[in-house]
Structure 1
C-alpha cells in the first residue's frame, strides 16, 4: 500500500466534514487505512483554524498532534502559510489553481495553495492500495485532491525545520555582533559597574555568615 498525505479542499465547510465521515467509513470497511486526519479552514483574513480531527478512524483531535499531519498544519498556520493562503485568488476546484499548485517546488507550498482564503480542507495521512477510493470520494463532493508521498513530505518538513533553526541561530549571531559594535563602550562600563556591585554583595554575604 502507498502511504500518502492527502489534501481534499472544498469551498463548502460541510463538504469537508462529510469527506472526513466518508473517509472514516472507508477505513472501517478496509478500503483504506486512515492514520491521521484533520479538518482545517482558512478565513478570508488568511488565518488557519483547526476544526476537527481523527486518528486511526476515531474522533480524537489531539491524536494528530506530534505527527506529520500536525507538523504540516503548523507550517500552514505560520507566516508563510498565511501569506500563501491569503494570496491564493483562484476558486476551489479551478483546474488552473491545481496546475499552479502542482508547479510549486515546495510540497508544503503546494498544500497551502490548495487551501486558499475561504476554503475548508481535509488533510489526512492514509495508506491506500489504489487512488480510486479517495479520488471518487472527492469527485462526488466536488473537491480538489492533492496527493503526495508521506516520505517526501516528511523529508521537506525535516529540512524546513532544520533551516528555521539555522536561520534563528544566524539571527542571534548577527544580533550579537551588532550589539557588540553599537554598545561596546557601554557594555564595558556595565561590566565594571556590575563587578563592583557583585563584589559588594559578596562582602555583605561574607559578613552575614561570620555573624
Structure 2
C-alpha cells in the first residue's frame, strides 16, 4: 500500500541516522522506499528546506522532486503561507488556537508536526506491514511516525495545485 510518512525525532542527528538506515534497507518484502527527504523547518517557522534526500524512482537515484518535492514545494512556497498551512506560526496566533485548529491536509499535519529548527524525515513508500519501519525509527531511534494514505495525499496535492492557477 502506497503511503507517505512524516517522522520526527528528539534530536536532528537521529533523523540523519534514520535516512542512512533507509538507504541500507531500501527494499524488503514489506517495505519499499520510493523517495525520502530530510526536511528542516526554519528557526522562525516560515520556510521548509530539503537537507538531504534519496530517490529510488529515478534510474540515477538522484532526487528529482517527485511526490516529496511537490509536498515540500507546496509547504514552503507562497501557497502554503496564503492558505494558512503555516500562518499560525508566522502570525504568532495563540498556542490554544493552533492546538485546536482543525488539521485537514497533509500540509497542515506536517507544518504542525515539525517544530521550528527541527529536521524531520518525509518518506514516500510502499508498506505492507508497519513493523519494519516502526522497529527502525520508533523503537531504535525513538522517533514518532505519522502515516498518510497515498490517495489522500494525492487529493491534497491536486487541491493545492488548483489554487496555484
Same fold (TM over 0.5): yes
Deviation for aligned residue 1:78: 2.4
Counting only pairs closer than 5 Å after superposition, residues 4-153 of structure 1 correspond to structure 2 as 4-46=3-45, 47-56=47-56, 60-63=61-64, 65=65, 67-79=66-78, 80=81, 81-83=85-87, 104-139=103-138, 140-153=140-153
- State the aligned residue count: 153
The structure richer in helix per residue is: 1
1:57 and 1:138, CA in 2 relative to 1: closer, same or farther beyond 3 A?
farther
Q: Normalization by structure 2: what TM-score? A: 0.79
Higher RCO (C-alpha under 8 Å, 6+ residues apart): 2
Q: Normalization by structure 1: what TM-score? A: 0.63
Q: What RMSD in Å do the two structures reach over aligned CA positions?
A: 2.9
Whether the 8 Å CA contact 1:31–1:133 is kept in 2: the answer is: yes
| Unaligned segments of structure 1, at least 5 residues | 91-99, 166-211
| Unaligned segments of structure 2, at least 5 residues | none
